[in-house]
Amino acid sequence: MGRIRRGGYIFDFWIGDHPPRHVHVLKDRRLIAKVELDEPLTVMEGRVNRRIREILKTLVKEGKL
**pLDDT confidence of residue 31:** 97
Q: Where are the domains of the chain?
A: 2-62
Quote the pTM value: 0.88
Contact status, residue 12 vs residue 1, Cβ threshold 8 Å: yes
DSSP 60: H
Q: Which tens digit of pLDDT belongs to each residue from 7-37?
A: 999 999 988 777 888 999 999 999 999 999 8
